[in-house]
Amino acid sequence: MSKFLYFIKWLFNWNRWYAFQKRYTIYTAIGIAIALITGKAELFWLPAIFIWCDLLVTMMKEKWDNFNKEQEQMLKDISEGPQ
């Protein structure tokens, strides 16, 4: 039994989680809390919508960073000129 309790403690160790796992857990808790507080069953979709928005923003940020790196490299290559 103590090994099982140790496993549960290890499983829910917040410090070992990745950032996206923490965000998704928070989105789920907020969505479920809002749905329960308002009493509207339709709001149980909120966690999925939050996670989808987070995924979309993360992908767009990654594309933006890649674009900026390419632009900086291109400007660097242009400023150095032919060698």
Rounded distance between C-alpha atoms, residue 80 and residue 44, angstroms: 56
Task: Residue 47: count other Cβ atoms within 10 Å of its Cβ.
Answer: 20
Supply the pTM of this predicted model: 0.64
Could you give the maximum distance between any two Cα atoms of the chain, in Å?
70
Q: Which two tokens stand for residue 65?
A: 């960073």
Please determine, for residue 38, whether its predicted confidence score (pLDDT) is greater than 80: yes
Please determine, for residue 42, whether its predicted confidence score (pLDDT) is greater than 70: yes
Q: Which two tokens stand for residue 48?
A: 């999925």
Q: Which two tokens stand for residue 50?
A: 């939050």
Rounded distance between C-alpha atoms, residue 17 and residue 29, angstroms: 16
